[in-house]
Amino acid sequence: MNFFDRLGERISAIDSIVSVGLDADVDRIPDHLHDHDLPRWAFNRRIIDATHEHAAAYKPNVAFYEDRNGWAALEETIAYARGKNVPVLLDAKRGDIGNTARKYANLLDMADAITVNPYMGRDSLDPFLSRQDKGVFVLCRTSNPGGTDIQDLELASGESLYEWVASLADLWNANGNVGLVVGATTPDELEEVRERVPDLPFLVPGVGAQGGDAEAAATYATARGAGLVNSSRGIIFAGEDAGEDFHKASGQAAKQLKKQLNQYR
């Protein structure tokens, strides 16, 4: 079954489009977990136990795991999340010449979907796109303030670069496995992209810590029954000051976000 069909089933089963971002920043993990061999794994396990009923997907950003112990923590985390039947989207933002991209695409052996950077063009993404059973989310209009610097540039055709990327991604969707990353911090752009590509599911980051628009995120995220709205710090560090019970606040935060988003979908 295709990734977006599986994601759609998960969304229907738990009535949630919440993606819980597992950005396990070691500097913010509670002190008592630092005695563990793999503190990030110990942290994530408690977060997953507390949030999985509300999680349509988990989204670990690989930046928080790119060291020796980090990678082991990431592997444990992914196996545990998938053991709870929650798909895992690896936020890796890869893309390179074809020979290198084919190695980056091996990351999909450990996850259900990945984020990729389209800047180097079609051949840099082919090794990902050819994995028919995996999801490939292409960066389109990102949530950071600097998203305007390049993505908003107007092309000779009059459209902006992010709109062009959205149309290209639609063309790259021969296997039905392409989605787009469009931030909640620019709701007008989110709406525009949704109008342009009605059939591509979105990953919408930027609600919570970045202050993005939850209503627009929920309204435009979904296509073909699939789509995700992500919050990372707003969920996993909700109980930062709660000591050993930190995960309970994360469970509440995930549940609350699910309720908030469900008002608009």
Ligand X SMILES: O=c1ccn([C@@H]2O[C@H](COP(=O)(O)O)[C@@H](O)[C@H]2O)c(=O)[nH]1
Out of 100, 130, 210, 256, name the contact with ligand X by CB under 6 A: 210
Q: Least Å distance between CB 191 and ligand X?
A: 16
Q: Which helix (H) or strand (E) holds 107?
A: none
Beta pairing partners, 202: 180
Q: Can you tell me the distance from the alpha carbon of 199 to that of 104, in angstroms, rounded to the nearest whole number?
A: 26
**Min separation Cβ 39 and ligand X, Å:** 19
Taken as a whole, the chain contains a residue count of 265
Site mask, ligand X, residues 86-125, x = CB under 6 A? -----x----------------------------------
Say whether residue 209 binds ligand X (CB under 6 A).
yes
- Cβ contacts of 103 within 8 Å, gap of 6 or more: none
Greatest extent of the chain over all pairs of C-alpha atoms, in Å: 58
Applying CB under 6 A, which of residues 8, 179, 234, 251 lies at the interface with ligand X? 234
- Strand order from edge to edge, sheet including 178-182: 57-59, 18-21, 228-231, 202-204, 178-182, 135-141, 113-116, 89-94
By CB under 6 A, the count of residues binding ligand X is 19
How far is residue 176's CA from residue 259's CA, in Å, rounded to a whole number?
Answer: 29
CB 35, min distance to ligand X, A: 26
181 near ligand X, judged by CB under 6 A: yes
Residue 206 found at the interface with ligand X (CB under 6 A): yes
Q: Which residue, 130 or 219, is less far from ligand X as judged by CB? A: 219
Query: What is the DSSP track for 236-249?
Result: HTTTTTSGGGHHHH
Q: Which string of x and - marks every residue 14-53 that binds ligand X (by CB under 6 A)?
A: -------x-x------------------------------
Residue 84: active-site member: no
Binding mask 124-163 for ligand X (x = CB under 6 A): ------------------xxx-------------------
First-to-last alpha carbon distance for the chain, in angstroms, is: 24
What b/e sequence results for 162-173 when a residue is b if at least 16 CB atoms lie within 10 Å of its CB, and e otherwise?
bbbbbebbbebb
Q: Which of 30, 70, 87, 183 binds ligand X (CB under 6 A)?
A: 183
For the bound state, the minimum distance from the C-beta of residue 1 to ligand X, rounded and expressed in Å, comes to 26
Task: Kindly state the tokens that stand for 113.
Answer: 């979907």
In the complex, the residues that contact ligand X under the rule CB under 6 A are 21, 23, 61, 91, 142-144, 181, 183, 205-206, 208-210, 230-234
Catalytic residues: 93
